[in-house]
Structure 1
């Protein structure tokens, strides 16, 4: 398992660097530095490492631990749209402050950066698949359309 933990640790660092680059471009210096720090907490770190880097299927307890870790991550980090959802059944959500909308897009861009060094339009075109406040959707549509054109 040590190898899985090490590989996941390196993944987190790489992801944080990619997000930092994107946030820096947007002027979100502090958010770029503190982005996803909860991934280092034992409650998130170990379940994620086991799920994605152990190379073994998870037993039921480990799968449940990973689900708790994912829920914790979404509910701890304000750049996740899930943090702002009041009722997923009625698609009711609070408006995200602009700095978190920008950080969320930077997060999406970082994944595109990881898998090809160029932001892919399909990575950013997620606004119809998520539950966000109409104001947040407008912000996202403006940001992602300008990202895919530039």
Structure 2
């Protein structure tokens, strides 16, 4: 299991570096540093490592622990759109403060990098598949528009 923990730790560090680079470009220095810090907590770290890096299927209790870890992660990190959903049955969400919208987009962009090296221009836009407040949706559409040239966001 130690190998799984090490591999997951390296994944987190890679992800944090990539998000830091994207946040830095947008002037979100502090958010770039603290992004996804909750992933180091035992409640998230161990279930994630087992789920994605152990190479073994999870038993029922382990799968449930991972689901709790994912729920905890979304509820502790304001850059996740799920944090702002107040009624999933009616698709009702609060408006996300702009700094968290920007961090969310930086998070999306980060997946086009490996250890800080730019791989490709990210065109990932999940605006139509997530539940967000109409104001947040408008902001996201502006931020992720291919025609957009006014960087940084803030």
TM-score by length of 2: 0.91
Are the counterparts in 2 of residues 19 and 110 from structure 1 also a CA contact under 8 Å? yes
The runs of at least 4 aligned residues of structure 1 exceeding 4 Å deviation read none
Are the counterparts in 1 of residues 142 and 148 from structure 2 also a CA contact under 8 Å? no
Alignment of 1:58-97 (within 5 A): 58-97=58-97
Who is 1:38 aligned against?
A: 38
Who is 2:103 aligned against?
A: 103
Q: Distance in 1 between matches of 2:103 and 2:21?
A: 11
Unaligned runs of 5+ in 2: 150-154
How many pairs does the alignment contain?
147
Unaligned runs of 5+ in 1: none
Q: Distance in 1 between matches of 2:121 and 2:137?
A: 20
1:118 CA displacement: 1.5
Q: Which structure is higher in RCO with an 8 Å CA cutoff and minimum separation 6?
A: 2
1:116 CA displacement: 6.9
Who is 1:19 aligned against?
A: 19
- SS in structure 1 at match of 2:145: helix
Q: Distance in 2 between matches of 1:135 and 1:117?
A: 31
Deviations 1:69-104 (A, max 9, x none): 000000000000000000111000000000000000
How large is the Cα RMSD of the aligned pairs?
Answer: 1.5
1:25 CA displacement: 0.1
Q: Which has the higher helix share?
A: 1
TM-score by length of 1: 0.94
1:117 CA displacement: 1.5
Q: Distance in 2 between matches of 1:116 and 1:58?
A: 34
